[in-house]
Structure 1
């Protein structure tokens, strides 16, 4: 969607992984390089100061200095001064990486990451990505990559460190929840295709409910949703579930296209608020509401453009939201090409819900709160050593939580491998057709991972989805 105001048209993006830079300052620096201007304004005095500092460094520093690195450093300093995790200056390499994430496919782990309060936080792993398969979860905090501390890195330095050739491995040390111990997660990098829409039909007692999952809002997502909807309506569905759980956002233009079939023009579906306080209403073109009811599934990994969709559906059409509170990102970034392969993405405005609420750092509460079983937050267990009775560490605590989630009798989850844990492991091994040793070796780890994945992918265990189906069944 293009935002229009004051005769200007700009392409806006709602992105999660960003850092910071000020547009006015950057363009000033650009003018400094292209043309010397009389020092008659505060801005020109500032630019002259920057130019003088650069000249002093280039002429006087003990070692030879790369002028491009100096410029990048100056721009990154402006980024830090803004203290905004959603604005960013990207050099040529970072810019290329960012563009690849919006088009076709790229090699990496497939997770959206932001920086909050100086920490790198996983917003959400992409559906079916290596990150999801390895067990990364929303709100995981990344502390180390391949053993190196990452606190001093920028967001794009971090993602460059995480990305790599297909088939290679990267080790992440993460903090999760209230655990005092770091977890180690090894992810095998792979191609990350940008396939953002999937659909299916759930049928019960002759009643057909359509289901559309949107994993991110990229170019073409709106068209794919429209195609999916047409197929579902040919199946004569009597209700629809839109699933944006774990959806970290994407293009603002994309979410408008997705919303178009579902909301009417009775009121704006969002407002864009500029820094001067002016609010621009954005309104759909649709005149008539769908005949069948809809539900939107949300969770803590639903962010940015996904929140625009959820708020619009709820506040324009009264659609029921089921799940847990969303992430809470209420700002708009504009992408600007700087002409040399680099670019900047600057926070230029806020977005407000149809009821003019700003949900930034607050999120959107569900109409009906449904929390998934604890096992849905668990990751596949990883260990290079055999786990056995008498050991005590975080991996065993994860093992105990996993066994309990699968229905085995566990009397402690503090990481101490006691007799009860050994008995539970033996029962699992018997059920899985493995040798009953009571020790967790490679074959047991593999079978545990397969069992966990199968459990989490079984729609009958998805409490939020089942609640949506029940709700629609009663309201069709």
Structure 2
């Protein structure tokens, strides 16, 4: 009898252990001491299982003992170029780029005659680079005393991300060579929010508005509204959007910009479709809904009062045109003709939001920025991970020195203006003998938003 009871007890213990084991697996993994690296990694894994677009591709048995940033990377799909994680308590965990550290970008190009030159293509307003006197169109001959070559350009770019001050030898492009060389120092520092820059070009009585949009921060609807009110009051009939260096940002701000352009939309017109994993499902938003997602935004009807009501828009693009700026290109297409001028875009056909510990008090400081959704327009069109190609191919480095953004003779702007003011569809502006060897804001050198 005792033997029989003992056997039943063993069976009961075995069943309890099995149940505990199953519950334990359902919770996502083993228990680790609070505050340990392993416990943080377990939170990262649980968060990614819930939100990550490629959650079904995550490894079943990751190494919880890895440093948090390495653990996060170990969960990512090979298709994922954009997800990242940062710890606000550890500045070194943040992605670094020449642009976000110093406020400028450059391109190393090989000219048709074989010479290799480096030109400054972007200088952010009120940035360390701007304050040092650097300007778009200047040529860089040396970085920290080293002449720039095709073989060392990427290594030099990587090295200056680990410094707090860089020495540049710069000059001006005159008669096919660099002149007036001088040395300048650029210190690591903060770049203030970038202004929207606008101009109005006129020829044969037709007015064309030009708007340079550096990025899409939340809360930009008021300034967008002001710019379009000016365009409308001035009788603008055509529009050029310059998104060539726009990494993206707020989809709500991008939707607000889109709402100010076409004629045939209402508050209930579909703007975007988000498609996530099995947990995220499919989310559809109208123009009004997406704009209102930013609590500081002007509402759809207020913006529409200054809409231009166009049936065509020109968008200037490059390999740095990404994310929300690609959404502008793709999601306007159901409502008007989009004529893209420049180069193929980066190909970030996805969106997400920051995932963080919401407990009070917060126990984990890390912030995750995973890819959560693929994005599509009102017609269900998307899947542009290889970038969106232009209708009018143009290389802004064809003519040196690079002219200021907003100059009517600048290569991409003049290509769009030629299409607007002539009867031709626009000519390709390419020099087959010119090669872009390296750019400081390429995906390997910069972080997408």
Give me the TM-score of the superposition, normalised by structure 1: 0.53
Corresponding position: 1:352 with 2:400: no
Corresponding position: 1:321 with 2:340: yes
Distance in 1 (alpha carbons) for counterparts of 2:277 and 2:404:
44
Is contact 2:124–2:191 with CA below 8 Å preserved after alignment?
Answer: no
1:325-404 to 2 correspondences below 5 Å: 325-338=344-357, 339=362, 341-375=365-399
Distance in 1 (alpha carbons) for counterparts of 2:37 and 2:20:
18
- Match 1:76 to one of 56, 70, 76: 70
- Match 1:465 to one of 410, 413, 418: 413
Is contact 1:196–1:217 with CA below 8 Å preserved after alignment?
Answer: no
Shift of 1:186: 9.0
Relative contact order (alpha carbons < 8 A, sep ≥ 6): 1 or 2 greater?
A: 2
Counterpart for residue 53 of structure 2: none
- Match 1:46 to one of 22, 25, 29: 29
Specify the SS of the correspondent of 1:41: helix
Distance 1:99 1:146, change over 3 A: closer
Is contact 1:321–1:368 with CA below 8 Å preserved after alignment?
Answer: yes
Corresponding position: 1:302 with 2:299: no
Shift of 1:46: 2.5
Distance in 1 (alpha carbons) for counterparts of 2:275 and 2:247:
21
Counterpart for residue 258 of structure 1: 257
Distance in 1 (alpha carbons) for counterparts of 2:344 and 2:65:
41
Distance in 2 (alpha carbons) for counterparts of 1:330 and 1:187:
38
5+ residue gaps, structure 2 = 1-18, 39-63, 107-120, 141-150, 169-182, 289-299, 424-449
Distance in 2 (alpha carbons) for counterparts of 1:329 and 1:316:
22
Specify the SS of the correspondent of 1:328: coil
Shift of 1:366: 1.9
Name the structure where helix makes up a greater proportion of residues: 1
Q: CA RMSD in A?
A: 4.4
Distance 1:204 1:146, change over 3 A: closer
1:11-410 to 2 correspondences below 5 Å: 39=21, 40-44=23-27, 46-48=29-31, 73-74=67-68, 76-83=70-77, 84-93=80-89, 108-110=102-104, 127=124, 130=129, 133=136, 143-144=154-155, 161=162, 164=164, 168-169=165-166, 188-189=186-187, 190-263=189-262, 264-265=265-266, 268-276=270-278, 278-285=281-288, 290-292=308-310, 293-338=312-357, 339=362, 341-375=365-399
Provide the aligned length of Structure 1 versus Structure 2.
306
Is contact 1:197–1:221 with CA below 8 Å preserved after alignment?
Answer: no
Distance in 2 (alpha carbons) for counterparts of 1:147 and 1:196:
28
Give me the TM-score of the superposition, normalised by structure 2: 0.56
